[in-house]
Amino acid sequence: MPAARCPWAGRRSPWNASRCRCSSHRRAARGGCRPPTRGIRTRKARTCSTGSARPSDTKHNGSTMTTDNDGNRRDDTASRMDQVSHEARSERHHIRVSPDFEVVMPQGEHARGIDLSLGGMAMRGDQRHAPGDWIQAELRIQEAGREFIVPFSAVCRHKTEAHQGEAPLTGWEFTSIEPQHLALVKDIVRARLSGRHLDPQSMVGSENAQTPRKRKGAAGAGASHKGGSGRRWGRYLLLVAGIAALGLVLTAALYRNFMLIEPSFAAVSAPRIEVRAPGPGVLMEHGLRAGDSVERDEKLTSVRNHELQSGLILTQAAQEYNDQLIDNLEQSLEAAGSGPVSVANSSKPAGRSSVSYDTVSPAVARARIDQFETAREYQSSRLAALEAEQAQNEIFSPCNCLVAWALSSADGTYIDQGERIMTLVRTGDDEIMVEALVHMSDIERIEPNQKAFISLPHESGMIDARVRSVALDVEREPRAGFPGWVRQQKNVASVLLIPEKPLPASSVGTPVDVRFNETPIIGETVERVWQGGRAVFNEAQDLYEQVEESVRENV
């Protein structure tokens, strides 16, 4: 019959022997076998023998001796110690320190201590013991000018042979130590870790400087027990109030999202004015940027047309030339009397070539004077037209507006006639409104003068508004601050809202949250509850950001 498999064999828990119900493990548990340390990995048996062929366990010199079926005796503890595979720092159960101490053996031998922890110690100088041996000895620790004696029992877990003239190193695990002695070792370890010397006076007194939290907890336990009942009811009431407030805000949010009319998109808008180039030319420097304010009749910019300026100069020269011809011809007629008169062939300047003259009778000369006067009047009219056209190239603001967009004038930008130069936004009290696009399925529920609620982003509180108009032709009145791609929807209508509180001009183009209300009392109550919860959330978020920023600055 095959041997039954132990259900607890092969587990990594050090308490498997006490939990197993096989006969071998029960005898090991009654014999006082202790689990190995957490920092030592050993190979454990995977099966337990049952039936008549049971191994017998005996204890010899603190170690477990096992007799197999052939009658051979072996030390299980020593065999397990020979199979140590690895020990990592993360697997150690206790922190090790290196105080000044020595170990005194029962025979009076002294060994130098290497390190000490709550679970064991290491020493040099002992050559007789091997892994698995048990000893009873004393620790003599030199601390703060005093010697502390700690009796203990321990088992040897590992041994390093002598190397380069050094004594062998042995590691021991405490198996028996009095509670007060263990507390002394704990105080020594804590003192070493904190970088100070152990004060024996504090150990004698009722207070311990290393455990202030325990003292405070013990001192305040009685006082907290007396007034705990009242504070408990207060906490319960605060908890119930918080749950009720949270439920109220959630109810308001559900009603707001499912019962109130929500547009597909809404933003702050205002009437816009497009400033375009009156003619081709070079745009002069204006220095205006988006967001700048301009007043009525303030000069915005100008366009320099070189062809227009050249025509204006030539027209002025032709007019002056005709004036001079008329004056010279009248003087010649007066001087010649009834004789012939010298007259220029053309009423226009000859340019680089010289002007030719003809000799005519006084009657012909008077006819030429009439021709020159007609040419002068034409040049005068043309000069007035060119001056008017040049005056149009000076662009002035038509209102008290806000610059929404401006064409850059750097490096002499050339523009054509009709090209857009600037976009101005009218910022009067009744001109900044909110435009919302409402789906056609909900448009029948909206009518003029209906009440609505507006919420600006990053601001707490709501703004009451009323419906001004509902229109399908959204381009009937061009407005700035509303993106063109949103207007491309075919199944929406434009609704203009007049806020009761004037909106700042800087908010033009800002998306807003709009809700149309059909039941004034319920809708307004729900909206105020929702806005209150939103305000609390925003304040908490701002406070968290301030604390986080202060922590970063301190770090």
* Residue 60 confidence (pLDDT): 41
Count the neighbouring beta carbons within 10 Å of the beta carbon of residue 8: 17
Tens of pLDDT along the chain (555 residues) come to 344 444 434 444 343 444 444 444 444 444 444 444 443 333 333 333 333 333 344 444 444 444 454 455 554 544 444 444 444 554 456 888 888 899 998 888 888 899 999 999 999 886 788 888 999 999 999 887 888 899 999 999 988 887 777 888 899 999 999 999 998 898 888 888 887 777 776 666 555 555 555 555 555 555 555 555 677 788 888 888 888 888 877 877 777 766 778 888 999 999 888 899 888 888 888 888 888 889 988 988 888 888 888 888 888 888 888 888 888 777 777 776 666 767 666 656 555 555 666 677 777 777 877 888 888 888 888 888 888 888 888 899 988 888 988 888 776 788 888 899 998 998 887 889 999 998 888 888 888 888 888 888 877 777 888 899 888 765 566 788 887 788 777 788 889 999 988 888 888 889 998 888 777 667 667 777 767 777 777 778 888 888 888 888 887
pTM, full prediction: 0.43
* Residue 310 confidence (pLDDT): 86
> Nearest 10 degrees: CA dihedral of 528, 529, 533, 539?
30
3-class secondary structure per residue, 108-119: CCEEEEEEECCC
Q: What are the tokens at 142?
A: 């030199």
Is there a contact between 63 and 132 (Cβ–Cβ < 8 Å)?
yes
Is there a contact between 283 and 301 (Cβ–Cβ < 8 Å)?
yes
Q: Which of 434, 415, 416, 422 lies closest to 501 in space, CA to CA?
A: 434
Domains along the sequence of the chain with CATH? 16-81 (no CATH), 94-200 (2.40.10.220), 257-269+428-542 (2.40.30.170), 271-303+393-423 (2.40.50.100), 307-391 (no CATH)
**Alpha carbon distance 500, 466 (integer Å):** 8
Is there a contact between 288 and 423 (Cβ–Cβ < 8 Å)?
no
* Residue 508 confidence (pLDDT): 87
Please name the residue ranges forming H helices in 393-505. Answer: none
